[in-house]
Structure 1
Amino acid sequence: MQSFFDERVRFAIEHIWINPLSGKREEALSALREAANMGDGDAFYFLGRCYLGRSFADPVLGLPHDRKFAFECFDKSLELESAVGMFATMHIEGYEPSQGTFIHPPYKSKREIWDKVYGMAMDGEIFCRFLVANAYFYCDVADFLDITPENAGGEEPYLRRVREWAAAAVGLYEGCVNEGLGIAIPNLIDILSSGKNGIPVMKKRADKYKHIAADMGIGAYERIIGNEYRDDNRLDEALAMYERAASHGDGYAYYCLGKFYTFRGVLGMNLKKAADYFEKGIASYPNDKGLCNLLGEIRFRGGQGLACDFPKAFALLDNAYRNGSTWGSDMLGMCYLKGLGTEVDLEMARWMFELNPKKRFAVWGLEELESY
């Protein structure tokens, strides 16, 4: 297989995207920086990609989210005439090149950029195959090749192409997974399980890839398999899988772990352990409704040596409410009724109680309000 990337870029791809559990994050980042500093446009693209969040690099790497730095790297990638940089950044939400165009010499059109990266993919460059698969999956290929329903001969011929693109994406994603590129799995599962763009739903095939992803140490899928074990009452296996997922950077796994030990937990109540898990989850997802609600409940009710902390309880439950959850409205109602962590507001108390009037605190609170 011909190699199109500098050896330092290949090293980074191996240890950031193919084997993120290798423990060589710093060496990989250093390799990218070194290549970038020597004027390698591809290195600038991959360096920027590292800082765009968990959809662009595995959370286990613990890379900070720095959109400004990422976009600066993309600008340099384009200036240095990286076809991969031009191809891959063209449809990243929010990115507009400072030069005003994605197309730089020696390329004169989007089609020429497509031809270059597609050729690299067909010659075996795994990350280019992933990028081309994404272009098929999101139908960005239509933009690269200027294909519209009008010039494709009508809506039905165009939709036929869309189905062909989805099928091509499946084949390319599966090839990527077979070579260890786990980042290809989420979109692959999406196509197989949803029937996206006319592909037949293939649930068993999708489930197979969920297990492959878990075996590869991808935290989100370890959690998903943990959920399956939990639902089958295989609690020890579920617990082990959630712990693996958490160790691999999946913040939502802490929610699953905490639920085992909080009020109504199936492994016996241990509020300190539950609170510790929820706190760790909130560190990754500060506005997650489930985490805020369940930690808020512990801070509101206390118990097992944990004192009530009404200011924290109110802040957490209010955050969940403002993000669309009414689950903790009865506790919020009590906060407003009694001035717990916030000022007394009887109108807000009644509002909160009436959102879930049959819950215990709501029943008590509404009875008290009727006596005023």
Structure 2
Amino acid sequence: MNGKYSLPVVKAVDMIWTSFDKEEIRRGYAMLMQAAQKGDADALCFIARCFMGEEYVWSGAGFATDDDNASKLMQKSALMGSATGVLCAVRSGNLTPSVERGMPFASFKEAFEEILEQAERGNAFCCYMIGNVYYWGDYLLVEPELAKQFKTENKYNAWAYPIAKEWYERSFNGRICAGWGNYCNIYESGLCSIKKDVFEAYYRMLADISPVICNNYGYYLKSEKNDPYNSLIRYVQAAQKGDPQGAYNAGYCYENGEAVEEDIHTAYQFYELAAIAGHPAGQWQIGYYYFNGEGIVEQDYAKAAEWLEKAYDNPKSSDNNRVKTAAYLGICYQEGLGVAQDDEVALEYLQEAEEGIDDLWEPINAMVLNALGVAYAFGRGTEEDIELGYQYFEDAAKLGSEEAKENLQYINSPKPRF
């Protein structure tokens, strides 16, 4: 119940949520830690936000998600009298009955009004939080009687979105980008009048600040404005600022000659940036380049397998990314390419790849079918089933696999008798 943030917290919040610079963010975090050690309840709340994942802090900052620790810090900040802690605890599901009873605020409304006062004085992060209170419906905790007035969520949103929109715009003017996704939803909902030129002006402005929004703006220019050249420029800018999706998108443009001459070397460099930053599709691309020896990349099965396994194990990997990664790993393990040969592991990957075989392309689809034929026809990693193996060879041969044709010829050839 401080009425306003301390100067160290104001500076730290600005460094963490507007700089998008890893070193600057770390300095801001150190300032929060020092403030928290002196009993600053707001600092505890912002420290908690750093460990709540990319919805709360830029992923490029390098903070590891730690929900349990974040929850404890968030609740402690509310109990110590941080209005920010109370609002964030509600939004993140951390305002438990015991915390609500123990906090020094008489109600959620009292905490809201403290943040509202700071927002009205121009604090951009507080403007963002006020926008959230309206956008997410938490304002019904401020004025419970309104629930009787708005019988449906849509009716509430029609009332709340215009208010949230104003607060989000005030936060954008203060370089806080966190509410942009919600603002886009408001724009697309049709429940609030936002002129297209205003929307695009904020989009451009925030794209110059946030690497994530910069990449998204690149996609917007491509899909909505049919402007692939400036789209690529934004992807490159996002990549240079540390956004892995921007790096991947730039790599894709160079690989496929979109708005630029096809350049496998440059594509690889952007894919590598994405891969190192943990982008699953970027990791797959690097593995693919090493497997085939694309462009300036010399074929190296060990490096291929290393990157493919990173892509496969990446929790952010899409189903499609896992399928194509499994296909190449299955081949690697069956043939011992860059890894210790292991028929059982190979079969597991190959069976997973088979489930998504329609999403694969030539020649890898034929390679997977031939490898499955090898597994079953010759009992590698499973019991021998010549009939099933023969069927796989036939399917692979229809797709042009010379290996499958040779395997069919071998099975069909008369065996010598002794």
TM-score (ref. length: structure 2) = 0.71
2:292 is matched with 301
The sequence identity of aligned pairs, in percent, is 17
Structure 1's 325 and 78: CA in aligned 2 closer, same or farther, altered over 3 A?
Answer: same
Cα distance, 1:84 vs. partner? 1.8
Amino acid corresponding to residue 221 of structure 1 in structure 2: I
Map of 1:6-85 to 2, 5 A cutoff? 6-20=6-20, 24-85=24-85
Q: How many residues align?
A: 359
Name the residue aligned to 1:185: 180
Q: Structure 1 residues 283, 145: closer, same or farther in 2, change over 3 A?
A: farther
Higher relative contact order (CA 8 A, sep 6+): 1
Offset of residue 193 of structure 1? 2.7
Aligned to 1:291: 282
- Structure 2 CA distance, aligned partners of 1:214 and 1:261? 22
Distance 2:334 2:26 in 1: 52
**1:205 shift after superposition:** 3.6
Counterpart for residue 351 of structure 2: 348
| 1:198-217 to 2 correspondences below 5 Å | 198-199=191-192, 203-215=196-208, 217=209
The change in CA–CA distance for 1:39 and 1:312 in structure 2 (over 3 A counts) is closer
Say whether the 8 Å CA contact 1:318–1:332 is kept in structure 2: no
Correspondence for 1:170 among 165, 174, 178: 165
Aligned residue for 2:331?
A: 335
What CA distance in whole angstroms lies between the structure 2 residues aligned with 1:4 and 1:332? Answer: 56
Matched, 1:106 2:104: yes
2: CA distance, partners of 1:3 / 1:193: 35
Which residue pairs with 1:278 in the alignment?
Answer: 271
Comparing 298-307 and 166-175, the one that deviates more: 298-307
Q: 1:333 to 1:180 in 2, by over 3 A?
A: closer
Cα deviation per residue 1:217-266 (whole Å; 9 max; x = unaligned)?
Answer: 2112222333456675654x555433321232311112123224447775
Instruction: Verify the 8 A CA contact 2:207 2:213 in the aligned structure 1.
Output: yes
CA displacement at 1:314 relative to structure 2: 5.1
SS at match of 1:220: helix
Query: Is 2:218–2:231's contact at 8 Å kept on the other side of the alignment?
Result: yes
Could you tell me how far 1:306 is from its partner in structure 2? 1.6
Q: Secondary structure at the match of 2:31?
A: helix
The amino acid of 1:345's aligned partner reads L
1:324 aligns with 2:319: yes
* Equivalent in the alignment of 1:256: 249
Alpha-carbon deviation of 1:213? 1.0
Tell me, in whole angstroms, the C-alpha distance in 2 between the residues paired with 1:105 and 1:233: 52
Aligned CA-pair RMSD: 3.8
Alignment check: 8 A CA contact 1:336 1:348 kept: no
The separation in 1 between residues aligned to 2:123 and 2:255, in whole angstroms, is 48
Q: Supply the distance in 1 between the matched residues of 2:22 and 2:244 (Cα, whole angstroms).
A: 20
C-alpha distance in 2, partners of 1:61/1:313? Answer: 23
The residue aligned with 1:134 is: 132
Deviation at 1:268, TM superposition (A): 3.2
User: Which whole-Å CA distance do the structure 1 matches of 2:100 and 2:275 have between them?
Assistant: 38
| Residues 1:225 and 1:126: Cα distance change in structure 2 (over 3 Å) | closer
Aligned-pair distance for 1:165? Answer: 0.9
2:36, 2:263 → 1: CA distance? 52
Q: CA deviation at 1:358?
A: 6.2
Gaps in structure 2 of 5+ consecutive residues: 371-395, 398-403, 412-418
Superposition deviation, residue 106 in structure 1? 3.0
SS at match of 1:52: coil
Query: 1:147: how far off?
Result: 4.9
Residue in 1 aligned with 2:364?
361
Which deviations, in whole Å up to 9, do the C-alpha atoms of 1:251-306 show, x marking residues without a partner? 111212322444777543435x54443343234345x3x33442332233223342
Mapped to 2, the partners of 1:188 and 1:42 lie a distance apart of 26
Is contact 1:333–1:351 with CA below 8 Å preserved after alignment? no
Q: Are the aligned partners of 1:103 and 1:110 in contact in 2 as well (CA < 8 Å)?
A: no
Cα distance in 2 between the residues matched to 1:317 and 1:15: 32
Q: Deviations over 1:116-151 (max 9, x none)?
A: 3334333443322211110111112224433575x3
Alignment match, 2:383: none
Give the Cα–Cα distance (whole angstroms) in 1 for the partners of residues 51 and 35 of structure 2.
Answer: 17
Q: Is the 8 A contact 1:330 1:360 kept in 2?
A: no
The change in CA–CA distance for 1:183 and 1:89 in structure 2 (over 3 A counts) is same
Which one of the candidate residues 231, 251, 268 is aligned to 2:262?
A: 268
Q: Structure 1 residues 300, 131: CA separation in 2 closer, same or farther (over 3 Å shift)?
A: same
The residue type equivalent to 1:328 in the other structure is K
Q: Distance in 2 between matches of 1:30 and 1:350?
A: 46
Tell me, what secondary structure is at the counterpart of 2:364?
helix
Task: Report whether the alignment pairs 1:223 with 2:215.
Answer: yes
Task: Check whether the contact 1:333–1:349 (CA below 8 A) recurs between aligned residues.
Answer: no
Distance 2:317 2:15 in 1: 40
